[in-house]
Amino acid sequence: MSVPMQAQQAHQGLQSSTDWSWLNDWRRRAWVQFAETPWPTRKTEAWKYTPLKSMLDTEWALASDTSNATGIRFDGWDRTVITLVDGKLTDHDALPDGVTVRLMSQATPEQRASFEQRLANTLAGDQLFTTFNQAMLAEAVWIDVAPETVLEKPLHINQVLSADARDRVVPVRLMLDLGARSQMTLVETFASEADGPVFINPVTEIEVGDSAKLTHYHLLLETGDVRHLGAVQAVMQAHSQLNSFHMALGGVLKRKDIVVRHCGSGADVQLNGVYLPTGKEHIDYHTTLEHEVPHGTSHEVFRGIIGDDAKAVFNGRIHIHKDAQKTLAELSNKNLLTSSRAEINTKPELEIYADDVKCAHGATIAQLDKSSLFYFQSRGINRKEAEAMLSFGFINELLEALQDEPVKQLLRPLLAALFAKDDSLARHSK
C-alpha cells in the first residue's frame, strides 16, 4: 500500500543524519513493515472505531530545536525527575544508587549492540504505531535498576511537548528493566504546551524481574490539539508484581495499546484505568493480558465517562495460553455516558486454552443510578450537584485506591475542573 502517513520525509531525514547510521537498518526494516501494513480503515478490526483520518491533515516533521517547557510538577513529592522535552532529555536529577540511565543518542560504539538487542525485545506485533515508533526512533531512554534495589523515591519521567512541537512528530522509547527483588514506583506524565497539532508516539517497555514489585502510573494529561498514539508493554517474571494505573484526559485523539505478558509463573498484575473524553475528543484503550504460564493473576478495571460529542473505545483482551493453568483473571469495564451524542465502544475478549482457570469479565454502559440521585436530592443536594458528585464518584473509586497521595493531589484539581458543575462530564443531558 502507499503510505498515507505524512511522515516519510521525516523518516528519510532521520536516516540521512550520520549520527544515527548504526540504527539505520533497524529503522528501515520497521519503516518497510509500517509502510506495507494496510492503512487502517473501518474494516480493520483493531481500528474499527478509531479513525485515523485526522493524522493525515499534517505533514509531520521530526522535532529539531526545542524551547523550554516545564511539564508536570508534583508539589511536595520527593522524587527523581527525568525531563524529556519534545522527546529529548533536557534535565535529570541525580540518580539513586542502583539505577543507570543510558540514552540511545549517546550510546558509545560498544553500547550500540546491546541497545539494538534491547530494542528488539519490544514486540510490535500488529501494533501499527509501535512499528512506527521503531521506524522513527530518534531517542530511547534505557533505565536499569539493579537487583535487590528498593527505591525510596519514585522515578518521574516528565514528558512535555514544547511550543516548538507544533506540526512535529515525537517518537520516544522508554525501557525499564527492574532487577530481581527490586521495588520502585515509576510515574510517567505527558503534558503539552504546544499550540497547534502535535503527534506524540511513546512506547514504554518494562521488564519486571523475579519477585520484583513495580507501581506504575501512565498519565496522559495533554490537552488541546494533541494526538497521542502509543503503547505500554510489560513482561512479568516469576512472582513479580505490577500495580499499574492509566489515565487519559483531553486531546484530539489518544490511543494506547497495553500488553502485559505473564512470562514467569505466579506474577500478580493489577491494571486500572480511567478515561474522560469531552468535546470532540477521542480516547481508545486496547489492553491485552497474555497469561503464558501457570499461576498468574490479573485484575483489570477500566472506567470511563464520556461527555458531549466525545467517543471512547475500550477493548480488553484476556488470552490464557494452553499451559497457563490455575490462572485467575478478572476484567471489568464500566462506562457512563453523560450526553446522548457521546459514544463508547467496549469489547471484552476472552480466549482460554487452559481448562483449570478462573476468569470473569464484564462491560457495562450505564447512566447514573436513579436511587443514588434521589438519595442525594432527598438530602437537599440539587440535581446538578448530585450528578456531578455521583459522576466523580464513579471514577473516584479507582483514584482513592491509588497508593501515592501526591498522584491523587495532582489529579484532583484537574478532575475538579473537569467535573465543575457546568461541565459536560456532570451535565447528564437526556
CB 308 within 8 A of CB 405: no
CB 131 within 8 A of CB 40: no
> How far apart, in whole angstroms, are the C-alpha atoms of residue 412 and residue 400?
10
Nearest approach in angstroms of CB 221 to another protein is 21
- Which parts of 91-130 interact with another protein (CB under 8 A)? none
Dmax (CA) for the chain in angstroms is 71
- Which parts of 361-420 interact with another protein (CB under 8 A)? 369-372, 374-383, 385-386, 389-390, 392-397, 400
Packed helices 24-36 and 8-16: angle between N→C axes, nearest 10 degrees: 170
Instruction: Please say which residue, 115 or 419, places its beta carbon nearer to another protein.
Output: 419
Instruction: Please say which residue, 199 or 419, places its beta carbon nearer to another protein.
Output: 419
Query: x-or-dash pattern for another protein, window 11-30, by CB under 8 A?
Result: --------------------
> How far apart, in whole angstroms, are the C-alpha atoms of residue 226 and residue 199?
6
Strand pairing class (183-192; 99-103): unpaired
> How far apart, in whole angstroms, are the C-alpha atoms of residue 384 and residue 397?
20
Instruction: Collect all residues with Cβ–Cβ distance below 8 Å to 372 and sequence separation of at least 6.
Output: 390
Instruction: Please say which residue, 49 or 392, places its beta carbon nearer to another protein.
Output: 392
Instruction: Please say which residue, 180 or 381, places its beta carbon nearer to another protein.
Output: 381
CB-facing half-sphere around the CA of 30: CA atoms within 13 A: 26
Locate 73 and state its grid cell: 510538577
Nearest approach in angstroms of CB 397 to another protein is 4
CB 201 within 8 A of CB 62: no
Query: x-or-dash pattern for another protein, window 318-357, by CB under 8 A?
Result: ----------------------------------------
Taking CA atoms, 147 is separated from 99, 100, 169, 329, 404, in Å, by 10, 12, 35, 28, 23
- Which parts of 262-321 interact with another protein (CB under 8 A)? none
Q: Where are the beta strands (DSSP E) in 73-182?
A: 80-85, 88-92, 99-103, 140-145, 155-161, 168-178
- Which parts of 140-159 interact with another protein (CB under 8 A)? none
Nearest approach in angstroms of CB 266 to another protein is 30
Nearest approach in angstroms of CB 419 to another protein is 12
Nearest approach in angstroms of CB 329 to another protein is 23
Taking CA atoms, 428 is separated from 18, 178, 391, 399, in Å, by 56, 44, 9, 22
13 membership: H or E segment, kind and range:
helix 8-16
Nearest approach in angstroms of CB 349 to another protein is 27
Instruction: Please say which residue, 196 or 393, places its beta carbon nearer to another protein.
Output: 393
Instruction: Please say which residue, 318 or 411, places its beta carbon nearer to another protein.
Output: 411
426 binds another protein (CB under 8 A): no
Nearest approach in angstroms of CB 376 to another protein is 7
Alpha helices in 313-418 (DSSP H): 370-377, 383-400, 405-418
Nearest approach in angstroms of CB 400 to another protein is 7
Instruction: Please say which residue, 251 or 307, places its beta carbon nearer to another protein.
Output: 307
Instruction: Please say which residue, 353 or 375, places its beta carbon nearer to another protein.
Output: 375
Helix (H, G, I), strand (E, B) or coil at 221: coil
Nearest approach in angstroms of CB 421 to another protein is 11
Instruction: Please say which residue, 341 or 421, places its beta carbon nearer to another protein.
Output: 421
Instruction: Please say which residue, 146 or 381, places its beta carbon nearer to another protein.
Output: 381
Burial 29-53 (b: 16+ CB within 10 A, else e): ebbeebbebebbeeeeeebebbebe
Size of interface with another protein, in residues (CB under 8 A)? 25
Nearest approach in angstroms of CB 409 to another protein is 16
> How far apart, in whole angstroms, are the C-alpha atoms of residue 137 and residue 169?
11
Binding site for another protein (CB under 8 A): 369-372, 374-383, 385-386, 389-390, 392-397, 400
